[in-house]
Structure 1
Amino acid sequence: MIEILTSGVALGVHVPGLLLADRIREQGGQANVSVLERLMTPETLATTARSKQAFHRDFRTALAGQKLARNASLATDDAAVEQQFKAWNKAGVKRFVVFSGFWLTLIEQYAERYGAVPVDICHVDSVQSPSFDKAGPTSLEPRHVWLADADSGLIPCSIPVSREAPLPWQERDSRLLVHGGGWGMGTYRERAAELRQAGFDLDVVAYENQDLQEEGVRYFMIDPSWHPWLDNGYPPFAEAGKPFEQCQGHHGSFDLCRRALATVSKPGGGTLLDSLWSATPAVLLEPFGPHEQRNADLWIQLGYGISFAGWQNQGFAPEVLQELHEALLKADVPDYSRELL
């Protein structure tokens, strides 16, 4: 059994964990996903949900909140942690794959009680992300797995979002996918308005009903009442006004990404993953912290993305996006799920 440890504070951490579990199971392996927030009290979860809304509404608040965040493992409930440890021991976990640094303290405690288990730290971002910085040093001896590596300028391995081949450029919709990551953060709404003025048709991922304002935009939403700690399904997703559905095998927004000319978003690790496996260029907006700036720099260096300002300076020419798409098609990246098995 491979135990995959995620956190609900960011879909860019949680969804790659779900994808890894699905790719392992497709090959006959056993995998389970645990979400850190399931070990927290209802009061703590309510605070997290309120923060999500505040961060969506004001990017400056989100940036300040990131700096003030503490090690989330300190907010877990002792009884829930003990129950989780017993479940892991009973299941015979052979390896932990950690997507959030906040799990490391708990794994140390588990190792002291039940014996050491091999640990992979799977980095979705191209440098160490804030959860690992906040967690501090660990007594564990983990293997570091990088889905993108800013220091080497490479993509050492990856997790396939889908086994389907990217859609040919000529078959794509003449639309752009605009979003703000799992919590709807950043300047994507302002940039969407500029792109509409430039004449582009847009698919925009909205996060509250009050976001549904722009005429001529096709809006999609994640169910606002859903949180990653409620189940191990992908975020319920649908065009605004239609019933939400949980896609199988990958998250629903990826289907929009596959058909788009580009995805326009802050440079989160999940956005890079979607860009890679759909061969859809990334138009990169203002980052959520220095680690996302390194993500953007890497994607531009590899020829897979362009800054919003850079594309704007070229008159928003679609030909620029096609060149990036063709570069993405040439990417040949090892599959981390195959290596695990």
Structure 2
Amino acid sequence: MQYSININIKDQTLILTSITTFGNYIPALRLREILSEKNISNDLLLIESLYSESALTRLERFKKSSKENYKFIQFALRLIRNTMSTVEPTKKQITLNSWFKMGIKNFIVFSGFWLPILKEYEQMIGINVIVFHVDKGLSPSYDFFWPLDSNYVSKWLHDKENIKFFLRRHPEVMKYENRNKEIVVHGGGWGVGNWGTLLNDLSQSNFKIIIAEIESNINNGNQANVKIRPDWIGSGVIKELIYPPMVSEGATEEEPLFNWIKKSCGVISKPGGSTLLDCMLTATPLVVLEPVGKHEVENADYFLNMGFGIEYSAWKRNDFSISTLKQLHKNISLYRNQLLKE
């Protein structure tokens, strides 16, 4: 049985993703919610659950190094690929045997690092695989294993039919005039960026700056720092399959970053596919930082050409204009409305 992302799936479906970057993890969670609402039996598994302890430790070390050095990212991604050879054989075999015992045949994949494991499982049973692309281009985890087997179905999140599938859970967005005069700044799933100059620049704007998962010694009195609850994740292991629980400095209440984004005037971030999705679901404009990798270049080109985002340098030259952001919000809202009417 071959199926598309937007028709009924009746059999148990496994969503295979990764917590190495939230760009793979968060969209997978969103899809899981949709399937559950449709009463489709499903589960979500992380590739890191099969990694050895030494591989997880190395990965965490390189993630920390990458936060301040873009060049480390490509090196770290090569390391991640190498961890496929250090997947613990016992863990992998237990997983494959469990799938076989349950007769699981349907998979939706958000990380290419699962593909070699699915190849092994294919030797045991016939399977149906949707390969889900969060980015406009091939992300590194898929690029490593491209081209796919012909019997795998590729789905691109930002294609009209697929983005509609997600938009239907968010048919309404907050009116721009009712939003907080805030800008959310984050570095994507790895917290990547050099933030000193940017945060100094933004201190000249009229916005309150919500700084998410960024280490900074700069505080101009008009910003708030939000961090992931420290006991939720460590070395590729998470306690609950939930959206990363963010806590504002000095507060105790947790909420996902999405809640800050939907009430904000804009997001400043590198153009990861999951960030684009957040902006689409909330009609929040994206101020685009330097892309990391070819896939993010394609993401940036898409959002800029559609009129959904603006490069940070251009927005800065425009004196951090709120009217510029408001027009981008209108562009996203119009596109959303057109899709939801189709």
Interval of TM-score (by shorter of Structure 1 and Structure 2): 0.7 to 0.9
Give the residue type in structure 2 aligned to 1:131: S
Indicate the residue corresponding to 1:214 in structure 2.
219
Worse overlay, 316-325 or 264-273? 316-325
What's the CA shift for 1:283? 0.4
Indicate the residue corresponding to 2:335 in structure 1.
331
- For the residues of structure 2 that align with 1:275 and 1:189, how far apart are their CA atoms? 24
For each residue in 1:28-79, what CA deviation from the matched residue of structure 2 results, as whole angstroms up to 9, or x when unmatched? 1111101001001112111111112111133332344346653542221111
Name which of 192, 200, 205 aligns with 1:198: 205
For each residue in 1:201-260, what CA deviation from the matched residue of structure 2 results, as whole angstroms up to 9, or x when unmatched? 11110345xx35323211101134414632322212110233473x5xxxx000000011
Query: What are the residue-to-residue correspondences of 1:159-174 with 2, within 5 Å?
Result: 160=166, 162-163=169-170, 165-174=172-181
Q: Tell whether 2:289 aligns with 1:285.
A: yes
> 1:244 and 1:88, CA in 2 relative to 1: closer, same or farther beyond 3 A?
farther
Q: So what's the TM-score if we normalise by structure 2?
A: 0.87
Indicate the residue corresponding to 2:308 in structure 1.
304
For each residue in 1:94-145, what CA deviation from the matched residue of structure 2 results, as whole angstroms up to 9, or x when unmatched? 41111111111100100102x1211001000001111111234444621110
Verify the 8 A CA contact 1:178 1:188 in the aligned structure 2. no
SS at match of 1:286: coil
Name which of 98, 101, 110 aligns with 1:99: 110
Q: Tell whether 2:29 aligns with 1:36.
A: no
What's the CA shift for 1:24? 0.9
For each residue in 1:273-292, what CA deviation from the matched residue of structure 2 results, as whole angstroms up to 9, or x when unmatched? 00000000000000111210
Indicate the residue corresponding to 1:186 in structure 2.
193
- For the residues of structure 2 that align with 1:55 and 1:10, how far apart are their CA atoms? 12
Q: In angstroms, what is the RMSD of aligned CA positions?
A: 2.2
Worse overlay, 212-221 or 67-76? 67-76
Indicate the residue corresponding to 2:244 in structure 1.
235
- For the residues of structure 2 that align with 1:18 and 1:189, how far apart are their CA atoms? 32
Query: Percent identity at matched positions?
Result: 29
SS at match of 2:100: helix
Flag structure 2 segments of 5+ consecutive residues without an equivalent. Answer: 1-11
SS at match of 1:122: strand
- For the residues of structure 2 that align with 1:76 and 1:52, how far apart are their CA atoms? 19
Verify the 8 A CA contact 1:157 1:334 in the aligned structure 2. no
Give the residue type in structure 2 aligned to 1:3: L
Indicate the residue corresponding to 2:127 in structure 1.
117
Q: Tell whether 2:34 aligns with 1:23.
A: yes
Verify the 8 A CA contact 2:187 2:214 in the aligned structure 1. no
> 1:293 and 1:97, CA in 2 relative to 1: closer, same or farther beyond 3 A?
same
What's the CA shift for 1:92? 3.1
Q: So what's the TM-score if we normalise by structure 1?
A: 0.87
What's the CA shift for 1:4? 0.5
Name which of 142, 145, 150 aligns with 1:132: 142
Give the residue type in structure 1 aligned to 2:151: E
Indicate the residue corresponding to 2:151 in structure 1.
141
- For the residues of structure 1 that align with 2:190 and 2:17, how far apart are their CA atoms? 16
Query: What are the residue-to-residue correspondences of 1:82-97 with 2, within 5 Å?
Result: 82-97=93-108
- For the residues of structure 1 that align with 2:198 and 2:331, how far apart are their CA atoms? 25
> 1:73 and 1:201, CA in 2 relative to 1: closer, same or farther beyond 3 A?
same
- For the residues of structure 1 that align with 2:131 and 2:170, how far apart are their CA atoms? 24
Verify the 8 A CA contact 1:71 1:135 in the aligned structure 2. no
- For the residues of structure 1 that align with 2:171 and 2:251, how far apart are their CA atoms? 26
Verify the 8 A CA contact 2:203 2:220 in the aligned structure 1. no
- For the residues of structure 1 that align with 2:80 and 2:52, how far apart are their CA atoms? 18
For each residue in 1:259-310, what CA deviation from the matched residue of structure 2 results, as whole angstroms up to 9, or x when unmatched? 1110000000110000000000000000111210110000011111111112
Verify the 8 A CA contact 1:8 1:35 in the aligned structure 2. yes
- For the residues of structure 1 that align with 2:55 and 2:74, how far apart are their CA atoms? 20
Paired residue total:
322
Query: What are the residue-to-residue correspondences of 1:304-323 with 2, within 5 Å?
Result: 304-323=308-327
- For the residues of structure 2 that align with 1:146 and 1:139, how far apart are their CA atoms? 17
- For the residues of structure 1 that align with 2:332 and 2:179, how far apart are their CA atoms? 15
Indicate the residue corresponding to 1:338 in structure 2.
none
For each residue in 1:170-216, what CA deviation from the matched residue of structure 2 results, as whole angstroms up to 9, or x when unmatched? 110011011001220024553232111233211110345xx353232
Indicate the residue corresponding to 2:272 in structure 1.
268
